[in-house]
Amino acid sequence: MSHSLPTPTIVQLPQGSAEWLAYRRSRFNASESAAVLGVSPWQTPYQLWLQKAGRSEGGKASHAMLRGNELEPAARAAYEELTGLVMQPLVLEAGRYSASLDGMTLEGDLVLEIKCPLRGTRSDLWQDVAAGAVPDHYVVQVQHQLMVSGAAMAHLWVYDGHKGLLHEIHRDEVCMARIQAGWEAFAVHLDSDTPPALTEADTVQRLDAEWAQSAKAFAEAKAAADQASEQLEAARQALLALVRHPKECGAGVTVSRYWKAGNVDYKRVPALQGLDLTPWRGKGREEVRVTMA
């Protein structure tokens, strides 16, 4: 087994059960590796972090996903008829890494990944595979499966409901190292309960009239608040210029002078050097910041 992963074992859990969902949140899954590496067209690292941290349930199954699940048995049967191989679907884990396989030979030397694109032969995936190319996010998923299973090769089987395309994918140790490095970095965010940085894909552009109206109201209110803040500070400085005693008051306004102890720079405390302060840290919380573009 490459990259020091443990020998894989079979996971026996009913798919879709509460135990299954909890298991998936605790593991590094093949279908999530593309998001971890920032190459998924459907999910960003931040969205995956929300899901695995239990702050989001994730999106509901799309029509394309439901169709793929329905067609999978027929797709596997068509593949087996073409190749003469018998493929057993199963879930494997190797340490924290997990892979749900659409099929694997009894010898464990070949794994199967089935894709049933919604648009069939008119889909981009069908056209790409027909030209001998596989999108990066699917390459990452399959390499993760090869890494966990220890198989020498995978067959990507693209099926339209009647016919299929078969594409061989061999082990790529460089890609596997990239996957492990990505998960190790992502695990830091999970273990420390701190989110990864947002990406451009996390930004949704709003063009609707309701948003435009609210944004205009915010911009106008902020401009007025900024002007009022400047006027307030100018008036404050004018008052301070008039103060001659520790405490003075008049016309409903009081100015007091007092001493305050300086803040402790905890980074400079020798006893705290190298100490993990996580046990004393409060629970993470979501905050909202509104800014002007």
Closest CA to 150 of 95, 88, 94: 94
273 part of a folded domain = no
Range 268-292 average pLDDT:
83
pLDDT classification of 149: cutoffs 50, 70, 90: very high
**Helical (H) or strand (E) element with 170:** strand 164-170
Range 157-170 average pLDDT:
97
pLDDT at site 60: 64
What does DSSP say about strands 90-94 and 9-10: parallel, antiparallel, or unpaired?
antiparallel
What does DSSP say about strands 110-115 and 153-159: parallel, antiparallel, or unpaired?
parallel
Residue 1 has pLDDT above 50, yes or no: no
| Number of domains into which the chain is organized | 1
CATH code, 12: 3.90.320.10
Share of the chain above pLDDT 70, in %: 97
Are the beta carbons of 71 and 63 closer than 8 angstroms? Answer: no
pTM of the entire structure? 0.80
82 part of a folded domain = yes
Task: Report the 10 Å Cβ neighbour count for 265.
Answer: 7
Task: Report the 10 Å Cβ neighbour count for 18.
Answer: 9
pLDDT at site 3: 58
44 part of a folded domain = yes
State the Cα torsion 253-259-263-268 to the nearest 10°: 160
Range 208-230 average pLDDT:
96
Residue 157, both tokens: 């089987």
Are the beta carbons of 10 and 101 closer than 8 angstroms? Answer: no
Residue 2 has pLDDT above 60, yes or no: no
Higher pLDDT, 188 or 17: 188
pLDDT tens for 82-126 read 999 999 999 999 999 999 999 999 999 999 999 999 999 999 999
292 part of a folded domain = no
Which range is least confidently modeled, 192-206, 239-253, 277-291?
277-291
10: left (phi over 0), alpha (psi -120 to 50) or beta: beta
pLDDT at site 292: 85
Share of the chain above pLDDT 90, in %: 75
8 part of a folded domain = yes
pLDDT tens for 128-144 read 999 999 999 999 999 99
265 part of a folded domain = no
For residue 194, the enclosing domain spans: 2-201
Q: What whole-number distance in Å separates Cα of residue 148 and Cα of residue 94?
A: 6
pLDDT tens for 37-54 read 999 999 999 999 999 998
pLDDT at site 189: 96
Are the beta carbons of 112 and 101 closer than 8 angstroms? Answer: yes
55 part of a folded domain = yes
19 part of a folded domain = yes
Residue 6 has pLDDT above 60, yes or no: yes
Q: What whole-number distance in Å separates Cα of residue 8 and Cα of residue 181?
A: 19
Q: What whole-number distance in Å separates Cα of residue 198 and Cα of residue 203?
A: 8
Residue 7, both tokens: 């020998």
End-to-end CA distance of the chain: 50
pLDDT tens for 171-218 read 999 999 999 999 999 999 999 999 999 999 999 999 999 999 999 999
Residue at 221: amino acid letter: A
Residue 126, both tokens: 């069908």
